[in-house]
Amino acid sequence: MGGPEQLLASLGGSAAASDMRRYFSQRQLERAVLGGGVVRPRNGVYALASLDEAHRVALECRGVLFARSAALAHGLGVLERPRAVDVAVRRGTKIRAHPQANIVTRLLPEEDLVRVGVVTATSPVRTVLDCAAQLEFAEGLAVADSALRCGLVTGSQLTSAAEAWIGRNKRALRRVLAHMDGRAANPFESGLRAACLEAGVALEPQLRISTRGGTFVVDLGSALYRVTAEADSFEWHGGREALHRDCTRYNELVRDQWTVLRFSWEHVMFDRAWVGQVVADVIRGSKRHNSRGRNAKTVHSAA
């Protein structure tokens, strides 16, 4: 069977002290802790020292992973990782401050909880609703888009659960559910779309555009106004081949009378109001241009 570390690994990373003592003496367990491979996140529990930080903190707080930390545990994308681990404990539980945790009290029905590795987290549906209600619109939208994209939830599941929601910020929750879209390629793109929506502009994710130079898929676009908005990350566009491909795509779109707007991660993360205003102003300009074109045709026909 090996030592305490091997047993913990086979059990998923943590175990109750009573279970460990079935196989090892107290001295063997203490030796494993002194050796650095095993830790005691709280009384009555042993865990691998290599355990994921969020899992370890949740164990130490006697809580469940919540909001963005739960989203990450489920493999969902988030626009920004939480600086502290989001942990929820049941109402009425005595809370001790933890330097690495953001602890909240919540009603935590068993049907809203699932096991993720060695810890408990809110279910994917509950996680999406919590994020939508608690976080900024862009953050909540990124999690909801990701959950749909990964197939962990369906729109009908979220809508049904939202109808029974008894927490705060129901309006914010409904707003996210009204605009979530599983076609969004990543959280960065979701954040860009949120910035547009906050400025009153709805763009279609992953819009396919056919031009004389080929067919291209843009991050966000409007076929009506021939405007695209691209979420340009250095990681994705930094190579020579990627740069060449993107230059070709952008130029072909412009040649076909499309307006191409490009936004960096910094724009989306730190200046979303400006991003939304730029897109809205360009759309308004397109509307005026189209209106002038129609008026000119009407005058010419009358003449």
CATH number for 189-294 (one of 3.40.960.10, 3.20.10.10, 3.50.50.100, 3.40.50.1970): it is 3.40.960.10
Question: To the nearest whole percent, how much of the chain has pLDDT over 90?
Answer: 62
88-97, 182-191, 237-246 — most confident range: 182-191
Smallest CA-to-CA distance from 152 within 244, 258, 74, 236 is with 74
> DSSP 3-state assignment of 246?
helix
Q: What's the distance, CA 90 to chain centroid?
A: 25
Which pLDDT belongs to residue 169?
92
Cross-strand bridge partners of residue 211? 214
CB burial readout 22-32, b (16+ within 10 A) else e: eebeeeebeeb
Residue 50 is predicted with a pLDDT of 67
CA atoms within a 13 Å half-sphere pointing along the CA-CB vector of 47: 23
Checking 92-96 for CB contacts under 8 A at 24+ apart, the result is 93/62, 93/63, 96/61
pTM for the whole thing?
0.81
Tens digits of residue pLDDT in 65-87: 999 999 998 989 999 888 899 99
The answer, yes or no, to whether residue 298 has pLDDT greater than 50, is no
The separation between the first and the last C-alpha atoms of the chain, rounded to the nearest angstrom, is: 94
Nearest 5 degrees, angle CA 120-CA 124-CA 128? 120
**Residue 280: CB atoms within 10 Å:** 16
Q: What is the pLDDT of residues 174-195, one digit of tens each?
A: 999 999 999 999 999 999 999 9
Query: Residue 94 carries which DSSP code?
Result: P
- Which is more confident, 89 or 292? 89
How many angstroms separate the CA atoms of 134 and 130, rounded?
A: 6
Query: Which of the listed CATH numbers 1.10.10, 1.50.10, 1.10.1420, 1.20.1630 matches domain 4-51?
Result: 1.10.10
Q: Rounded mean pLDDT of 249-256?
A: 95
Question: Region 255-270: what's the mean pLDDT?
Answer: 95
What confidence score (pLDDT) does residue 12 get? 60
How many alpha carbons lie under 13 Å from residue 79 in its C-beta half-sphere?
30
3 state DSSP class of 261: strand
The structural domains of the chain, with segments of one domain joined by +, span: 4-51, 54-182, 189-294
